[in-house]
Structures are given as structure tokens and as C-alpha cells.
Structure 1
Amino acid sequence: MKEEDPSLTYTRKYADRSFKGLNEKLELLIHEFKEDRMEKEIQAKYLQTIVDNVTTGIISFDHSGSVHLLNNAARELLNIRQLNMIEDLNKYYQGLGSRIMLLKPREEIAEKIIARDKFHYLSINTSIIKMKGIRNHIITLNDIRHQMEEQEIVSWKKLIRVINHEVMNSITPIITLTTTIKNKLQKKQDKKSLSAIDDKDIKDALASSDIIEERSRGLINFIDRYRKLTKLAPLQLASVDIKEMCGKIQFLFKEEPGMKGIRLKVDCKNTEPLQTDPKMLEQVMINLVKNSMEALENVKDPFIELGYYLDEEQRRIITVTDNGAGIEPEALDQVFVPFFTTKEGGSGIGLSLCRQIMRMHQGEIEIDSKPGKGTKVKLRF
């Protein structure tokens, strides 16, 4: 027993001969068992405390899908209190439990979920260990949304630098045309006399000038639009009455031609002021209302609603909701990527700019949209 070896035995003859010291040995053995059990319980509680306090979600289940471990981080990320079978996750997030069951050792997947009214981008990893001959799956979950957003911003800035480089390269034909005009109007280093300039020279010079003007204006407009993404002014925070701002936007769009037949409603359940940059927030809301307005073309009984309320965590939420065409799932994944647009003639910077402004406020912007049913945009401060 002391050596934890159940194969050892002793005979009655041996017991009779050694009975004298058996009691003392048993008492010592019982004491050692108690010490050993106490140490193991302390270690178990220590490990359980670590598991329950790490920020990584951990789930353990056996080959049948029966869950043996669900730590606090996993409960928080998935917004569940308990989980008996891994496939029970399918009740909350379509097909998630089944996909986890199919994971192979060291395989990683990424899943987008909405829990507690928040968007999460989960990185899910799996490993398998054997205990007493039984295979146990250990799943780890990490919310990598912020890392993804930071990476997007870095990528955007790189992309903008590339575009600026391309813009500068496009000036080359302008210089070429300017040189051509110059050559038409001079001979070597001297100006040509008026009599030496024929109608063809004038025609070519005017045609070149038209192209130069067109290219130049296009470049100026291009740079003005896209530099907004990288040169936002610092925040000028103030206490803002959101209901008043919504009323201002309502009045602003009242005479907008595209708003004909569209009801623009305001529903502000929260009356507390918000510390924000009023000009930037107004720019965000105007962008969102314009997007909604464009999505409501040919929709029966179209409406846009501006809302303001406190969520369960007492965070201030501004919403822009419409019953428009909605956004296709494949497009929804890319709406915040700079220069991506589904609209003809669109710049693709509106929502990118909105997200940057919200990040400056240490807030979030989320979109919930279903094709044919409408879109709801949340600004969470």
C-alpha cells in the first residue's frame, strides 16, 4: 500500500509473525495517505484556480462529446453557464459544436459569434490527451477580434502608402504631355514665332491641356478622399446631447431628395449626455444614414431609426436601423476594408472611416444585417 503497488500480498503466517508492529505501520500509513490526499487536493484546487482565471477559454470533453471541464473564460466568451455535451453549442451558435467535434489534433479554426450582444472573432484550437485509455479533447478559445482589427488598420495604412505611390507615378504622363506642349511652342531654347506655330500645333497643345486638366483634377479629388483615412484630427471631446444631435440629423435629411417617402425616426431611451467629439460623431451618423437611405430604394414602407440607450453593462449605444435590402454575408465580411464597395461610384472609405473614428473613442462599431430584412449598425462607447 505504501508503495502503491496492489500486486503485493502477504500470508496469514507472515501476518501472525509480524502483527506486533502492524498497528504502528498502519497508523503511519494512514497519516501518509492523509498527507498525500491533502497535497493532491491543494494541487487540484491550485490548478483549478489557474484554469478558472486564465483569459483563454478551455473546454474538455471525451470521445462521446460529454463535457468534463468548462472554465470561466469559456463561459464568458460563449455566454453560457453550463455545458453537458459539446454539441449543445449548436443550440446557441449554428453548427459550432459539430464543427468542434470534427476538429483534428492541433487543428485551428476561426469562428465569428455574437454573445452578450457583442461580436467575437474566436480562434479555436484543439489537442487530444489519453487518460486511463480514454481520449479527451482539450479545446482552447481566444477572442482575437482586436488583434484582427489592429492588423486591418496596419494593412490599410500600407495600402494607402502604395496607392499614394501609384498616384505619384501617374503624374508621369502629365509631365510628358507638358514637355510635348513645350516642344511644340519652342525651337531649341528659343520661343517659336507665332507664324511658325500652325493649327496642328495649337490643336495638339489644347488636346494635351485638356488631358492634363482632367488628370490633375482627378488626382486632387482622389487624394482628398483617401487622405481622410490617415489624417484624422485629434478628438475634441465635449458633452453631447445625443437626442438633440439625432434631431439635427433628422432635420438635415428632411429635404434630401433621396429621403422622399422614407420615415426617419428618433428613439432615444437614454437621456444622459455622451462624452464624444460632436463633429466626428455627426460625420459617422451622416455616413450611416446615407448608407441606409441608399439601401431603401424600392423598399415598401421604408424607415430609418436612430436610437440611443444603455446596454446591460451600462455602456452607451447609438443605433442606426433600417428595413432596407441588407448586406450579403460575403460582403459583410469586407465592409470595413478600405476601398471595398458594392455601390457603383462608391469610394469604399465610409465605413472604414467610421470604424477609425470609433476606435479613437475606444469604442466599437458592429453591423447586424440580413439580406432582404434590413441592417442595424451599433456604435458602442
Structure 2
Amino acid sequence: MLKNFQHAKTAFEDKLVRIALKGFMLPTIAALVMLFYADVSIYFKLLLLILIFTIIFITLLSIRQTVTFQLRTSTNLVEAMTSGDYGMRANNKDVKGALADFNELLNTLASRLSEQSLITREKQILLSKITDQIDVAVVAVNDQRHITLMNPAAERLFKQRFEDRQGWPITSLGLQNLVAATQQENLNKVSELEIGDNKRKMYVRTDTFFELGIPHYLIFITDIQHILRDEERMAWQRLLRVLSHEINNSLTPIASIAETLHQLVKTQEDDPEVGSPQLSESMKEGLSVISERAHALNLFIQDYQQLTRVPPPTKSVFKLTPLVQQICQLFDSCHISIPEQDVSLYADRDQLQQVLINVFKNANEANISAGNTASPIHVNWVTSDTTLTIHVTDKGQGIHNTENLFVPFYTTKQHGSGIGLILCRQIILNHGGEFTLANAPQAGARASIQLPLIS
């Protein structure tokens, strides 16, 4: 019944027409009565009657059209503002009274909304630029635990494009536990997250915001591994500078004394009365040991000083396949899985060659030490939209102590210096990439070099 009642309601413009019609009714009846008793021709009466009703009809139609036009104009203006178009304005020319005030109010409202919309868009652009430039990964999740925002840092961290993940469940990024914990209390801690195939320490902060009264969640993830590695490298650099200073201060007098004693021994040999031949021989042996150790110590310091002297990369564009093939020729057994389409890199070719030679050499030595001299070194690489990952796999005994892989001075080789892997990682980090070493899924170890591709 309510619907029928609503349908039975009269339109506003029709009400105005009825009011005007009621206003015309009394003078029209009076005119008809006077016309009826007037002593004029019947034809004149009919003509006058038609004229009166025509004037009334045209007047009512004009009232209805004027009111309808104004209402439609105001409706279109409000509808445009509702849709976000604030450029339309009500025409207030030759309009006075209440209608002029109403149009002026509509125009003022449109101007205010246009100004607020511009301010909002400018703030959104500013916020977008900030989130695009910061190194903190930002992920927004709605109440259904679906992804609604990923900034470029998050895309790089998870190697996923936001366009491909928008609307997906947060489980696709492996952050469902963070969202579940945030529903209880906002987080602010260092957590170990599984990013891809690796577990990495991340500083995680979460917060809650509301849209239409419904809670949504923000996740801020900071990769602190680079910070920790930089701090670790700087600490070792300070230590190496101290060691270099102290050891060089000892090497200089040792070398000088050894040279002086060599001259004395030579003098004794020329004049046998100065000392016995047995003494001369013992002094020769001792001095040889001193000289040899001083030389070895000097080489030791020179090797470790390389950690503080890694030059910044001199980048150029080159193809990856010829470089890998050239390095493989240095080793007896090497198997390369080359994709159909070659990869172009923008990097320091000499430094990358140094890293690959070191990695290939370690893989070859691992095969030899395990007695798998016939097993080849397997090399392959895969690409995504933004990154290249090179895998070098051996068939050795694997890695038994992964915690000390990148600790300076630590080595499992008899004649190793303990800086090869550190230098490799530092060179790759200087290129904005990642260098990891882990046990292969089946046997042996796998070195992975991740580098950014040309954008």
C-alpha cells in the first residue's frame, strides 16, 4: 500500500499547475456568466470562449515548463557534483529573488567541492610519490584480507606486481599471520619472514585504518639485512684498518732487521774469523724464516685490505651468455643451460666476471674434494620483469656451517684467505643485487646471484 500511495502522489510541478488552475477558475466562471448574459453574437461568444481557454492553457503550460526546467537544471547540477564533476554552474543571469539565492548557493557549493577535490587529489599525488620513493614496503589489506595496495618497494621485495596481485588474498604474499596478529594488537618488532625461498629478518610494523567504519590493515616491512650487512662490513673495515696499521708497524722493522742480519752473515762468510760456518748457517735459516713469514704476513694484509678497497662499479650494457661461456672455458667440466632469449645487463662486466670466476672456482673445488671430478658445474639463470637470478650448482659435499659463510677470516680451505665470498657479496650488493649460498635441493651447494635488469 505504501508503494501505491507513493505512486499516487502528485508531482511538484503538477501541484503548481493545479494551484494556478484554481486561481483561474473563479474569474473564468465570472467571465463565462457575463458572456452568457451579454447581448452579443453567438459566434463572438464562442470565439471569446476559445480565446479564454487558450490563454489559460498556454499560461499553465508555461508555468509547468518553467518550473520543470529549473528543477531539471538544479537536478543535473547536483547529479554532476555527486559524480565528481564540479565544473557545471547554475545560470543566474536575469534571475532574482529566492531562485537567485538558491542558484548562488549551488554555485558556491560546487566551487567549494571543486576546491576540496583538487586539494584531495594533490594530497593523494603527494602521498603516492612518497610511498613510491621510500624503501619501506607498504601493503594494505581490507577486512576480507585481500590486497588493496602495494607500493614499488613491496613489489621489489615480493617480486610481484601490484596489478597482478590486486584483490588477491594476503596468503599469496605469506603475510596472513601478520594480519591475524594485527587484529589483536598492532605489531612493532623484528620478525623472520619467508620471502620467496629464503627466510629474511625484517622490521615489521602494522597499523589499522578505517573506510566507511570498516577496519583495514597496513603492513610496513623494512629489510634490515642490508643495514645489518653494512654495519657488519663497516665494523670489519675499522678492524682491518687497525690490524693493518699495527701489523705494518711490525713488518717494517722485521724486514729491516732481516736485511741487516743478511749483511752480517755475508760479512762472516767473507771473513771466517768473525764467526763459525755452523753459526752462519743457523742464522741463514732463521733469517730465511723471518723473511718468509714477513712476506707472507704482508700478502695476508694485502688480501684483506681488498675488503675496504672495492671500487664502485663502472657499469655498461653487455650480454650475459658470452661472458658465462668465456668463464666456462677456464674449467674442465661446465654445463650451461642457456635460455632461448639472451639477457642484457647494465653492470660492471669486470667485477661480475670476477664474481663468477670465484663462484665457478669454488664449485669446481667442491666437486674435486668430493671425488666427483667428472661431475660438471651446472649454470642456469631465470628472469622476471625486473630481476635476473644466476644459479651455479656443484655436486660437492654441501655446506656444513652456513653461519660462518660470510665471516671474514673464516675458511675451510687449507690455503684459503676467507675473503672470496665476502668480496663477491660486496660486489653484488654494490650493484643493488643479492648474493646467497645454500645447499642444493639434492646434493652439493648452489650459489645464487640476483641482479636488477635494465628497466
Please state which band the TM-score falls in when normalised by the shorter chain. Answer: 0.5 to 0.7
Q: Quote how far apart the aligned CAs of 1:287 are.
A: 0.7
Q: Quote how far apart the aligned CAs of 1:47 are.
A: 7.5
- Going from structure 1 to structure 2, the CA distance change for 1:182 and 1:220 (only over 3 Å counts) comes to closer
Q: Quote how far apart the aligned CAs of 1:119 are.
A: 9.3
Map of 1:12 onto structure 2: none
Are 2:256 and 1:154 equivalent residues in the alignment? no
Q: 2:393 aligns with which of 302, 316, 321?
A: 321
User: Do 2:258 and 2:291's aligned partners in 1 also have CA atoms closer than 8 Å?
Assistant: no
Q: Quote how far apart the aligned CAs of 1:213 are.
A: 1.8
Q: 2:205 aligns with which of 118, 122, 125?
A: 125
User: Do 1:302 and 1:324's aligned partners in 2 also have CA atoms closer than 8 Å?
Assistant: no
Q: 1:213 aligns with which of 260, 285, 291?
A: 291
Map of 1:26 onto structure 2: none
User: Do 2:337 and 2:380's aligned partners in 1 also have CA atoms closer than 8 Å?
Assistant: yes
- Deviations for 1:121-172, whole angstroms, at most 9, x for unmatched residues? 63213468999xx999764222345444543443343233133124224427
Q: Quote how far apart the aligned CAs of 1:197 are.
A: 2.1
Distance in 1 (alpha carbons) for counterparts of 2:145 and 2:311:
54
Map of 1:302 onto structure 2: 375
Are 2:353 and 1:282 equivalent residues in the alignment? yes
Map of 2:439 onto structure 1: 370
Q: How is 1:341-380 mapped onto 2 (pairs within 5 angstroms)? A: 341-359=411-429, 362-367=431-436, 369-370=438-439, 373=442, 374-380=445-451
Distance in 1 (alpha carbons) for counterparts of 2:441 and 2:373:
11
Q: Higher helix share goes to which structure?
A: 2
Partner secondary structure for residue 125 of structure 1: strand
User: Do 2:179 and 2:217's aligned partners in 1 also have CA atoms closer than 8 Å?
Assistant: no
User: Do 1:174 and 1:215's aligned partners in 2 also have CA atoms closer than 8 Å?
Assistant: no
Partner secondary structure for residue 288 of structure 2: helix
1:354 alignment partner AA: C
Partner secondary structure for residue 160 of structure 1: helix
Map of 2:44 onto structure 1: none
Distance in 2 (alpha carbons) for counterparts of 1:285 and 1:358:
11
Q: How is 1:195-234 mapped onto 2 (pairs within 5 angstroms)? A: 195-198=273-276, 201-202=279-280, 204-232=282-310
- Going from structure 1 to structure 2, the CA distance change for 1:38 and 1:244 (only over 3 Å counts) comes to closer
Distance in 2 (alpha carbons) for counterparts of 1:242 and 1:290:
18
Partner secondary structure for residue 415 of structure 2: coil
The percentage of counterpart residues that share the same residue type is 26
Are 2:243 and 1:163 equivalent residues in the alignment? yes
Partner secondary structure for residue 273 of structure 2: helix
Map of 2:57 onto structure 1: none
- Going from structure 1 to structure 2, the CA distance change for 1:183 and 1:273 (only over 3 Å counts) comes to closer
Map of 2:335 onto structure 1: 265
- Going from structure 1 to structure 2, the CA distance change for 1:327 and 1:125 (only over 3 Å counts) comes to farther
Q: Quote how far apart the aligned CAs of 1:284 are.
A: 1.8
1:322 alignment partner AA: D
Map of 1:109 onto structure 2: 190
User: Do 2:315 and 2:347's aligned partners in 1 also have CA atoms closer than 8 Å?
Assistant: yes
Map of 1:249 onto structure 2: 327
TM (norm. structure 1) is 0.62
Q: Higher strand share goes to which structure?
A: 1
Distance in 2 (alpha carbons) for counterparts of 1:136 and 1:310:
34
- Going from structure 1 to structure 2, the CA distance change for 1:317 and 1:370 (only over 3 Å counts) comes to closer
Provide the alpha-carbon RMSD of the alignment: 5.3
Distance in 1 (alpha carbons) for counterparts of 2:395 and 2:320:
22
Which runs of no fewer than 5 residues in structure 1 stay unpaired?
A: 1-33, 186-191, 255-262
TM (norm. structure 2) is 0.54
Q: Quote how far apart the aligned CAs of 1:304 are.
A: 1.8
Number of aligned positions between the proteins: 336
User: Do 2:380 and 2:391's aligned partners in 1 also have CA atoms closer than 8 Å?
Assistant: yes
Map of 1:174 onto structure 2: 254
Distance in 1 (alpha carbons) for counterparts of 2:286 and 2:235:
37
Distance in 2 (alpha carbons) for counterparts of 1:301 and 1:153:
38
- Going from structure 1 to structure 2, the CA distance change for 1:320 and 1:372 (only over 3 Å counts) comes to closer
Partner secondary structure for residue 215 of structure 1: helix
Distance in 2 (alpha carbons) for counterparts of 1:84 and 1:279:
42
1:208 alignment partner AA: G
- Going from structure 1 to structure 2, the CA distance change for 1:323 and 1:183 (only over 3 Å counts) comes to closer
User: Do 1:317 and 1:378's aligned partners in 2 also have CA atoms closer than 8 Å?
Assistant: yes
Distance in 1 (alpha carbons) for counterparts of 2:246 and 2:337:
46
Structure with bigger gyration radius? 2
Q: Quote how far apart the aligned CAs of 1:375 are.
A: 0.9
